[in-house]
Amino acid sequence: MGTVVEAANKGVNGSITEKNPTVVFVLGGPGSGKGTQCANIVEHFGYTHLSAGDLLRAEIKSGSENGTMIQNMIKEGKIVPSEVTIKLLQRAMQESGNDKFLIDGFPRNEENRAAFENVTGIEPAFVLFFDCPEEEMERRLLSRNQGREDDNIETIRKRFNVFLESSLPVINYYDGKAKVRKIDAARPVQDIFETVKAIFAPKNEKAD
């Protein structure tokens, strides 16, 4: 029996690639301020913001056969296969009708990265890397702790270590291709956005 992912893949692969979309990967540790800046980029530059985590959660919530499979894998402590996440991203890209995308929190590791390029045939235009010291991320996460279970000090440190181990090889890979735009994310939000604007504005003007 076909899964939602298989169904989503039919006709998606060709058509979204034909649009020759602009894809920007957005990476940074927990508390680096990615979400805030993504919202600003969407507002000012017309990108569609896709969060891999949000798409997986939405699929689980939908109660689809595919969502149940994802939920069971997570419950069993298994990693959801890259292809599953990528198909959800492809479907969301297709349904958005846009051709400019911020993909947030993905790829999480080298295997995700290779699979994304193989499955979609799309290479990111660049990677926006929010570089923030661990102490600053800890401070932000603890100060925003409003009932989020994952915002305690041990969990924060674990999440930070996972980010370092898994995502830094991805950043290094794209750095080797001169595709990383590193942002000092320890500064005030508005200062960070001024830097972000300088990265996006020239491309945006050409596109217009």
Q: Does the annotation place 112 within a ligand binding site?
A: yes
H or E element in which residue 108 lies: none
pLDDT in tens, 116-150: 999 999 999 999 999 988 888 888 888 876 555 55
Greatest alpha-carbon pair distance for the chain in Å reads 51
Q: How far apart are CA 50 and CA 72, in angstroms?
A: 23
Question: CB under 8 Å to 71, separation ≥6 — which residues?
Answer: 60
Q: What pLDDT, in 10s, does the model give residues 66-96? A: 999 999 988 888 878 999 999 999 999 999 9
pLDDT at residue 4, as a whole number: 40
The contacts of residue 54 (CB under 8 Å, 6+ apart) are none
Helices (H), 97-188: 110-120, 134-143, 153-175
Distance CA 198, CA 121 (A): 28
pLDDT score of 206: 43
Question: Is residue 14 marked as binding?
Answer: no
Is residue 3 predicted with pLDDT exceeding 60? no
pLDDT computed for residue 7 by the predictor:
39
CA distance 48 to 52: 13
Give the pLDDT score at 16.
64
Spatial contact of 94 and 16, defined as CB atoms under 8 Å apart: yes
Rg of the chain over Cα atoms, rounded to whole angstroms, equals: 17
159 is in an annotated binding site: yes
- Residue type at position 16: I
Annotated binding residue 80: yes
Give me the pLDDT at residue 150, please: 57
* Contact assessment for residue 170 and residue 107, using Cβ atoms and an 8 Å cutoff: yes
Amino acid at the residue 156: I
Residue range 107-119: mean pLDDT, rounded: 94
Query: Is residue 79 part of an annotated ligand binding site?
Result: yes
Is 148 annotated for ligand binding? yes
Residue 6, pLDDT > 70, answer: no
Looking at residue 19, its pLDDT comes to 73
Domain range summary for the chain, segments of one domain joined by +? 21-194
- 103-132 exposure pattern, b = at least 16 Cβ within 10 A, e = fewer: bbbbbbbeebbebbeebbebebbbbbbbeb
Which has the higher per-residue pLDDT, 163 or 191?
A: 191
Other CB atoms within 10 Å distance of the CB of residue 22: 18
pLDDT of residue 103: 96
Determine phi and psi for 43, rounding to 5 degrees: -65, -40
Instruction: Tell me what pLDDT residue 157 has.
Output: 81
| pLDDT score, position 146 | 58
Strands 22-28 and 126-131, bridge-based pairing = parallel
- To the question of whether residue 181 is assigned a binding role by annotation, the answer is no
CATH of 21-194, one of 3.40.190.170, 3.40.50.300, 3.30.70.1450, 3.40.50.720: 3.40.50.300
Q: How high is the pLDDT of residue 156?
A: 77
The residue-averaged pLDDT of 193-204 equals: 83
Decide which of 29 and 96 is more confident.
96
Question: What tokens does 173 get?
Answer: 């890979």
Per-residue pLDDT tens over the stretch 144-189 = 765 555 557 777 788 788 888 888 899 999 999 999 999 999 999 9
Q: Is position 57 annotated in a ligand binding site?
A: yes
Question: Was 33 annotated as part of a binding site?
Answer: yes
pLDDT value at residue 17: 62
Instruction: Please determine, for residue 8, whether its predicted confidence score (pLDDT) is greater than 50.
Output: no
For residue 145, the model assigns a pLDDT of 61
Is 36 annotated to bind ligand?
Answer: yes
